[in-house]
Amino acid sequence: MLVDVDATEHLNHITVQGSLIFAPDEDDDQHQRSLDANIIIVYGGYFEAGTEDFPYTSKLTITMHGAKGDPTLPIYGQKVIGVRYGHLEVHGPVRTPTWTQMSASSAVGATSIQLKEEVDWQVGEYIVIASSDFEGRNAEKRQITAVSNSGETTTVEFETGLEFGHFGLIETYGGVDVDMRCEVGLLSRNVVYRGDPETSNDNQFGAHIMLHSPGNESLIGKIAYTEFTDVGQAFQLGRYPIHFHMIGTIHNSYAKGNAIHQTYNRAITLHGIHYFTIQDNVAYDTMGHTIFVEDAAETHNLIERNLIVQTKRSWSLLNTDQTPSCFWITHPNNIFRDNHAAGSDRYGFWYDTQETAMGPSYDPNICPQYEKVGEFSGNVAHSMGRYGLRLFHIVKPREKPC
């Protein structure tokens, strides 16, 4: 089925066993299409809103509806795109860059900031300027009114003056340059996945995407350059904006270049998966651990160049969510490279290693505290309530981990 209408009726349940493909308007990148539904299940089928080679070039908003107490599906829940033995492709156009840093400090009341590089950001789009002080919640969201890329200086303007100062300099201590330039992330994308405003915000009950089928490479999920807002369901286990769940190896899947903001339960969850790529994403205003390595069995995943802004404590799920981390790492054998944790109620990067794998992945023959560290390099943390990097309980690799 080709979705080439501007707007669908509000559909209750869609099951995709063949192909459901959204067709962009090739002549108009501002053309708006929308889909409204309660539940979408891709069961052995193919769901496409753009691909890596042919991204969705016009505007598309997928709005998921539903309230607590509405009928739910086993495993996948409700207000969901669920994938089982299927293929999900959601690709907006590549944005360059998805986030960058300031090149000069901005004072309270300023209506513009300077960036260290050219950007393709547009008037009308939204940005977040990270906190650069000791209060991790002093990030600020603004709508762009002008962008000037001129030579070495890029200036972004907005109408409402800044409430806080934001630091944008490299300082030198003992002959070592310390890059303390504040981060700025782009929150807008032309493909938007969201929970309906009527039930999401007041009840912290947003939309989510859950990909699950048992068996290595038993599904493919490629989610890129898409905006997620009013997502995640507080107090609901397994209801996260992007959630790859108990699949095993997934070499062909990734989450790249997405903007995830106003989420009531994490941003991206890795649960019982290996060889997954999380790259160039921006997450802002998240309840609980933001990038979440769940069962201490997940290995060889690449988490690279992501910006996490304003991770907030939550009384929703785990006890540790009351002391949240931008990156919660339960197994050390993963790659964390060039990520920025820019504001959290507690921690930036937390190696909370476990004695054995936990939950559905429980295995006494997996002993994460004594496994090797995959890679931890080039990462930055600031504006934390406690620590930028916490190693607790044990990270002590040895030849025979168990």
pLDDT tens, residue by residue, 279-326:
999 999 999 999 999 999 999 999 999 999 999 999 988 999 999 999
pLDDT tens for the chain, 402 residues: list them. 999 999 999 999 999 999 999 988 888 999 999 999 999 999 999 999 999 999 999 999 999 999 999 999 999 999 999 999 999 999 999 999 999 999 999 999 999 999 999 999 999 999 999 999 998 999 999 999 999 998 788 999 999 999 999 999 999 999 999 999 999 999 999 999 999 999 999 899 999 999 999 999 999 999 999 999 999 999 999 999 999 999 999 999 999 999 999 999 999 999 999 999 999 999 999 999 999 999 999 999 999 999 999 999 999 889 999 999 999 999 999 999 999 999 999 999 999 999 999 999 999 999 999 999 999 999 999 999 999 999 999 999 999 999
* CA gap 388, 326 in Å, rounded: 10
305: tokens are: 């160049």
User: For residues 195 and 79, is the Cβ–Cβ distance under 8 A?
Assistant: yes
Number of other residues whose CB lies within 10 A of the CB of residue 364 = 9
In the block, tokens 């048992």 appear at 214
Query: What string of DSSP letters covers 127-173?
Result: EEEPP-SS-TT--EEEEEEEEEEETTEEEEEESSPPSS-B---EEEE
Tell me how far CA of residue 270 lies from CA of 24, 79, 329, 380, in angstroms.
31, 20, 10, 21
Distance CA 223, CA 244 (A): 11
Starting at the edge strand that comes first in sequence, how are the strands of the sheet with 335-337 ordered? 2-3, 19-22, 46-49, 87-91, 220-224, 254-256, 277-279, 302-304, 335-337, 375-377
Name the pairing type of β-strands 208-211 and 242-249: parallel
Residue 24, pLDDT score: 87
Nearest to 193 by CA among 210, 181, 176: 210
Measured in whole angstroms, the distance separating CA 279 from the mean position of its chain's CA atoms is 9
Neighbours of 112 (CB within 10 A): 15
Write down the pLDDT at residue 288.
Answer: 98
Question: What distance in Å separates the CA atoms of residue 22 and residue 180, rounded to the nearest whole number?
Answer: 42
Considering only CA atoms, which of 233, 238, 218, 280 is closest in space to residue 255? 280
In angstroms, what CA-CA distances link 339 with 196, 307, 309, 330, 380?
Answer: 31, 6, 11, 17, 6
The C-alpha atoms of residue 144 and residue 112 are separated, in whole angstroms, by 9
Count Cβ atoms within 10 A of the Cβ of residue 150 and give its class: 0-12 exposed, 13-18 middle, 19 or more buried: exposed
* Amino acid at site 172: T
H-helix or E-strand spanning residue 270 = strand 268-274
CA angle 368, 374, 377 (to 5 degrees): 125
Tens digit of pLDDT for each residue in 165-178? 999 999 999 999 99
Task: Report how far residue 217's alpha carbon sits from residue 251's, in angstroms, rounded to the nearest whole number.
Answer: 7
CA 46, 52, 57 angle in degrees (round to 5)?
95
Q: What is the DSSP letter of 24?
A: P
CA 235 to chain centre: 19
Pairing of strands 325-329, 291-293: parallel
